[in-house]
Amino acid sequence: MDPRGSIAELGRRMGAVVGPDHCFTAAADLLTYECDGLTHGRTRPDLVVLPGSTEEVAEVVRLARAAGRPIVPRGSGTGLSGGARPVPGSVVVGLSRMRRILEVNLRDGWMRVEPGVINLDVTRAVSGAGFYYAPDPSSQSICSIGGNVAENSGGAHCLKYGFTVNHVLGARVVIENGTVVDLGGPAPDAPGLDLLAVLVGSEGLLGIVTEVTLRLLRRPEATRTFFATFPSTDEAGEAVSQIIAAGIVPAAIEMMDRLAIVAAKAATGLDWPDVGAALLMDADGPLAEVEHTSERAVDIARRAGALEVRLPRSEAERQLMWKGRKSAFAAVGRISPNYLVEDGVIPRSDIAPVLREIEAMAKDHGLRVANVFHAGDGNLHPLVLYDARESGQEHKAEHLGGEILRMCVRYGGSITGEHGVGAEKAAYMREMFSEDDLETMRFVCTAFDPDGSFNPGKVFPATRLCGERLEREGPHPAEQAGLIERW
Amino acid sequence: MAERPGKDSDAILGVIPRLVFEPESLEEAEDAVARCARDRLTLGFIGGGTELGMGAAPSDLDAVLRTSRLDRVLEHAPADQIVTVEAGATLAALQAVLAPHHQWLGLDPPWPERATLGGILSTNAFGPRRARYGSARDLILGVSIVRADGTPAKAGGKVVKNVAGFDVARLLVGALGTLGLVATATFRLHPVPEAAATVLFPALDSAGVSSLAEACRAAQLEPTSLAAIADSDRFDLGVRFEGFAPGVAKQAERLLDLGRRERAAGERLGEPEARAFWGRHEAVREMGPLRAKVSAPPSGFPSVARTALTRLLGELSPAGAVFYPSLGLGYVAGRPSAVAAVAAATAEAREALAPLGGSLVVCEAPHDLRAAVDVWGAPPPAFALMERLKGRLDPDRRLNRGRFVGGI
């Protein structure tokens, strides 16, 4: 007999709160929830519950906690770091039913939404009035605002506009004992500690967000885009450095290497040439400013060795260029049976040497790596290509991915720029942070959630600092998932 | 390590510490904080001392750590547009290091010659360019801190994009040194714009300020600063554009057109006049001995300005006010006439702001007024959680004891 009580009984109680249709315990119903966008690690939860209101979330949290069950919050499940991956015995709290836009105030530039609202739907709701929501992760047509808050999501345009944390004005959050707490709001600089700043990006470890107030921006007057090809990533990297050095702040500047270009072409049918590297840059703002900066940037690209510069002749052509870039991840599936998406950050000025190192490491592993990345802020997305049918390749790919992350840290960068630590990279946190650094973050975590009820096994590596969780729950999920034994 | 008995000049709001540390290295700073932990000494931090009036007087203050000798710029990577600096470096000194590279830190709070980066972070100090660059919260990338127990720790990093671990760096912004000593900080930098233009619209009423600010946004103009200065119920609105010359000139022109349509006569200021306007703005921001920070959603500003704030201004002589209409923030400052009247006007302003979700924080006040007004106002709704966090990071509550919101 499970000391936590029977799951059927918990399911019945949860069902009474959210309605029996919104609570599952049958294996077939739980299948969808075994993983998120990171599909190569799966754990079946014991129960999935889909509350429809803040009050229901609060009651669900109370019940799960009383039953001693870990709580795993989940948005759209598009995350790429296993942040919504269940742990054994857990209750997954899915927020997909909470998808109402609650209030829009264009005069003060904000919108209050439930966490299940899809990122792009925020912009869609106000685009007619000339407003938009800035953070634009590649998954923006399917990812939820709640998930964006958990991961502090970025996107191509965060170079100029910042991340989710810069665009969340307030949040309502249910903490471990079921208390509802309001943080921030439409008026700036509320007195007191800025708990909102640490809630954003806390990967579901501090509580469950049930409402979010988002900043809306007025659309810029003009956007100018260009696509430029280069013999190699060296020249493309040099062009990026010189554009930045000229005092230009691009809205986005993206780079693809040869393999990524091949993949994007295969997927979209774009007539991009076979070249060593390509840049895609957006400049936006007032018309006169943008015309000036985009002309200068094109000029710099040419002088840095661009083979060809293409300017879209219409908005449709511009969208197509971006489609090529945004589909590059999935497109890699056309040139390789399997691939891993990595997410590391390096100082932008080291792009050229880092790409050469990646190439050398890939060769050592007998694998290919396609590179698609946000060049303006040094956020790399190396796509490690492999064939799972060949024995040992998956392991080699994971090993190479790990080596790339270590190299990012060696260059003074980060193990994640936007996908989050989740379950996948918890084991790498010690590459970046000391035990004391991690302990400080732990203090923040336990202030919100003393017992570690929310999303255990994420962010923090299996720990020598917080023994109570290990004792209470047996093996750390990261251990069970094989993450910390990997190397 | 330099360690000496406290003097009058080391006082925080009249409370003189017994002991003063002036570390010259990060190791010395760690030793000082560790020593206070060992001896259970309450500890306050002083940077440039420009915003020491913020918060309540310490309820207990054994020791003070002055960061003024921790003033090195540790790393400036121009190509990566980042800088790491020790907490005691002044903003002006930092900007001077960055200037030859045509870069700056996009923060422009008052007293740049004295204000330190540690102090600016801890008080979330800002200036008019917040409209373009955001506040310290938006520009900070990483910190190293010394925790209350003397343990050095870091968070964040030195790249612009980084979501590894909890964002402890942003949590320290505006925490008034209650969670730990900020030892070093890494910031994102921006290019110094090549051109600037200020357009002035004199003597508007508060509704006029709001509608011009809104028209500016509707027209997709992107000023880097909007500031309205008042000494009575009329406001002089300055709008500054910065960037590449063609964009700046065109935007200034378009704003003047907009003004004409809104029946507000504006003029593009010459360089000396623009300097004078922003100098006047600076003077109001640095005014005392009473200074209050007001926050409200931008749309609420006209009504609050007309009623509650006019009343507060009326109780001060000389008096000045600055509002940033696109931010929903402002300052009212001056010399109080009668304590009771100012206290009453402050309470009234808070009542007017509360339904809007806004707040009024007294950032500087004469001693007698402090007895009559809670400088922070009512504790926020999440106060219990804030206290829990304080309890985890500073369990003995020794850091800046009693100074922050709700006595944290």
Please say whether the structural domain B193-283 has been given the CATH code 3.30.70.2190.
Answer: yes
pLDDT for residue A476: 36
Report yes or no: B298 and B327 within 8 Å, Cβ to Cβ: yes
Architecture of domain B287-377 in this structure: 2-Layer Sandwich (3.30)
Beta bridge mates, B204: B235
Beta bridge mates, B240: B198, B225
47-86 in B: which are within 8 Å (CB) of A?
Answer: 77-82
pLDDT for residue A486: 23
Same domain assignment for residues A253 and A106: no
B154 near A CB under 8 A: yes
Fold of B73-191: 3.30.465
A418 near B CB under 8 A: yes
- CATH code where residue A70 lies: 3.30.43.10
A245 near B CB under 8 A: yes
Would you call B145 and A419 a contact, using CB atoms and an 8 Å cutoff? no
Least Cα distance to A386 among A438, A343, A333 occurs for A333
Picking from A248, A346, A447, the nearest residue to B389 by CB comes out as A447
Q: What is the DSSP string of B13-71?
A: TTBPPSEEE--SSHHHHHHHHHHHHHTT--EEEESSSTTTTSSPPPS--SEEEE-TT--
Picking from B138, B159, B327, the nearest residue to A347 by CB comes out as B159
Same domain assignment for residues A124 and A174: yes
How close does chain B come to A292, measured CA to CA in Å?
Answer: 7
B195 near A CB under 8 A: no
Would you call B77 and A197 a contact, using CB atoms and an 8 Å cutoff? no
Query: For residue A194, which residues of chain B lie inside 8 Å, CB to CB?
Result: 137, 170-171, 173-175
Torsion A391-A394-A398-A403 (CA) sign: positive
A422: in domain = no
State phi, psi for A313 to the nearest 5 degrees.
-90, -10
Picking from B162, B243, B386, the nearest residue to A193 by CB comes out as B386
Report yes or no: B187 and B156 within 8 Å, Cβ to Cβ: no
**Chain A residue with minimum CA distance to B242:** A289
Query: For residue A347, which residues of chain B lie inside 8 Å, CB to CB?
Result: 77, 79-80, 82, 158-159
Q: Is B372 exposed, middle or buried (0-12, 13-18, 19+ CB in 10 A)?
A: middle
pLDDT tens readout for residues B190-234: 999 999 999 999 999 999 999 999 999 999 999 999 999 997 779
Domain limits for position A202: 101-218
Measured CA to CA, the distance from residue A168 to residue A185 in angstroms comes to: 9
Measured CA to CA, the distance from residue B377 to residue B345 in angstroms comes to: 13
Least Cα distance to B185 among B108, B117, B107 occurs for B117
| pTM for this entry | 0.95
Same domain assignment for residues A267 and A183: no
Picking from B164, B190, B385, the nearest residue to A415 by CB comes out as B164
A371: in domain = yes
Q: Is A131 exposed, middle or buried (0-12, 13-18, 19+ CB in 10 A)?
A: buried
Would you call A191 and B361 a contact, using CB atoms and an 8 Å cutoff? yes
pLDDT for residue A1: 54
**Chain A residue with minimum CA distance to B388:** A447
Report yes or no: A145 and A153 within 8 Å, Cβ to Cβ: no
Measured CA to CA, the distance from residue B308 to residue B364 in angstroms comes to: 19
A416: in domain = no
Tally of structural domains, chain A: 4
- Of the residues B82, B135, B139, B160, the best mutation for testing chain A's interface (the one with the most A CB atoms within 10 Å of its CB) is B160
**Chain A residue with minimum CA distance to B132:** A161
Same domain assignment for residues A232 and A191: no
188-217 in A: which are within 8 Å (CB) of B?
Answer: 188-195, 197-198, 200-202
- CATH code where residue A254 lies: 3.40.462.10
A191: in domain = yes
**Chain B residue with minimum CA distance to A216:** B217
- What ipTM was estimated for this complex? 0.97
Report yes or no: B131 and B324 within 8 Å, Cβ to Cβ: yes
B207 near A CB under 8 A: no
Counting as low any pLDDT under 70, the low residues of chain A are: 1-3, 463-487
How close does chain B come to A158, measured CA to CA in Å?
Answer: 9
B389 near A CB under 8 A: yes
Q: Tell me which of A52, A69, A94 is where a domain ends.
A: A94
Would you call A189 and B293 a contact, using CB atoms and an 8 Å cutoff? yes
pLDDT for residue A68: 96
Same domain assignment for residues A85 and A120: no
How close does chain A come to B282, measured CA to CA in Å?
Answer: 20
B407 near A CB under 8 A: no
Q: Is A153 helix (H, G, I), strand (E, B) or coil?
A: coil
Q: Tell me which of A169, A193, A218 is where a domain ends.
A: A218
How close does chain B come to A350, measured CA to CA in Å?
Answer: 9
Indicate the domain borders of chain B.
Answer: 73-191, 193-283, 287-377
pLDDT for residue A39: 85
Q: Tell me which of A29, A63, A94 is where a domain ends.
A: A94
Would you call B166 and A166 a contact, using CB atoms and an 8 Å cutoff? no
DSSP tag of A202: S
Give the A:B interface size as CB pairs under 8 Å: 269
Residues composing chain B: 408
**Chain A residue with minimum CA distance to B79:** A349
Domain B193-283 and domain B287-377 have a common topology: yes
A198: in domain = yes
**Chain A residue with minimum CA distance to B170:** A197
How close does chain B come to A333, measured CA to CA in Å?
Answer: 27
A1: in domain = no
pLDDT for residue B304: 87
Same domain assignment for residues A89 and A106: no
Same domain assignment for residues A311 and A244: yes
**What's the average pLDDT block by block, 10 residues per block, for chain B (408 residues)?**
91 98 97 98 98 97 98 97 98 98 98 98 98 98 98 96 96 98 98 97 95 96 97 90 97 97 93 98 96 95 85 93 96 94 96 94 96 94 97 98 96
**Chain B residue with minimum CA distance to A156:** B161
Same domain assignment for residues A242 and A384: yes
**Residue type (1 letter), A115:** P
B313 near A CB under 8 A: no
Picking from A181, A198, A459, the nearest residue to B168 by CB comes out as A198
Report yes or no: B296 and B358 within 8 Å, Cβ to Cβ: yes
